[in-house]
Each structure stands twice: as structure tokens, then as C-alpha cells.
Amino acid sequence: MKKDVTICFRTSEDLRASLDKVAAGERRSLSSIIETVLYDYLKEKKELRSLKSEKRIYGRREVSLPAFVYKRGLGESALQTGTILDLSLGGLRVSVPQEYDVQQEGEFDTIFTIPNEKMPVKMKCSVKGVLDGTDNTREILAAFVDGDFLGYQKLHGYLKN
């Protein structure tokens, strides 16, 4: 989702402190936490115009999680940082720098950490699409092809909350 609008508002110190605590606990930015709360509220009230009927098997969750994206067998030169923008049990949408070489029909591996988990999740992904992102980024739409059982368990536990 393109973020091109800034919203400023006043709130109590207690609410701010609570939001900061949640953000720190999930290792996310305050802005990301507030956006998630607002998004969930509007989704519940069915007021979000951009919501369409979901065709995916698994519901997705908008997130902002740091990740590493890399192609197996190419060594460190293929390692790229990225940000997971949404996540489900079936796949993800990840933002990477524009110069990252990704093939429309290719595969890649990703490593990311779920908030409140110590061990990272490692998944093999199949590219389903590539979109232009913001100024210097592109977004990779991918389905999970393979991952370890523990990784899926962590992912399931995170997504059901």
C-alpha cells in the first residue's frame, strides 16, 4: 500500500507510552503500530474502501518486518535487505531496492524474525509477481514453496493473534 499522506494528532501521554511499549515489544516503529491499529479498526467496521473480497486461501496481515532476501548458491553478493509488507501462511509481499535482480518466474530464500521470537524464520519462495514500489524500491509477491515445520508453527502463531 502506497503511503503518501501524513496524519498528525494529539493524544494522552499514557496512550503514547502504551503504544511505544507495544512497538518496542514487537520491534516495530510507532508509526507501524498506529497504522496497524487503525487498519484493523477500519477493516472491522468495513469502512476501508480499498478492501476487496479476499481470494487468497490464507488471510494476510500487513506488517513491517525487516528481512533478508537472497538467491541460493550465489553467495553473499546476492544477499539483499528488504522489508516484508504483508504476510500470510501462503506467502508474502516484500519490498527490496530497485536494483535487486529478481526474475518474474524465479525463486529466492528469505530470512525474517517474527516479533517476540528469538529464532528467525527461513522460507524458500516462488516469485508470483513484481511491482514497482516507491521511488527506489520494487515489491516482490511470492508464495512459500518450502520451509521448516518450526517456522510454519511460529508463523501460524503470529498470524492467528
Question: Can you give the pLDDT at residue 6?
Answer: 81
SS3 67: strand
* Domain count along the chain: 2
Question: To the nearest 5 percent, what fractions of the chain are helix, strand and coil?
Answer: 30, 35, 40
Q: Mean pLDDT in each 10-residue stretch from start to end of the chain (161 residues)?
A: 75 92 84 82 68 61 91 67 92 89 82 90 91 85 89 88 72
* In a shared domain, residues 87 and 155: yes
Q: Are strands 61-70 and 91-97 parallel, antiparallel or unpaired?
A: unpaired
Q: Give the number of other CB atoms < 10 A from CB of residue 100.
A: 20
Tell me: do 77 and 137 sit in the same domain: yes
pLDDT score recorded for residue 8 = 85
130 neighbors 94 (Cβ within 8 angstroms): no
Instruction: Verify that 128 and 155 share a domain, yes or no.
Output: yes
CATH number of the domain that residue 119 is part of: 2.40.10.220
- 48 with 67, same domain? no
φ, ψ of residue 83 in degrees (nearest 5): -130, 125
Residue 102: which domain range?
61-160
Are 88 and 32 in a shared domain?
A: no
Same domain, 94 and 141: yes
**pLDDT recorded at residue 2:** 60
Residues 77 and 6 in one domain: no
Q: Are 94 and 69 in contact (CB under 8 A)?
A: yes
CATH number of the domain that residue 42 is part of: 1.10.1220
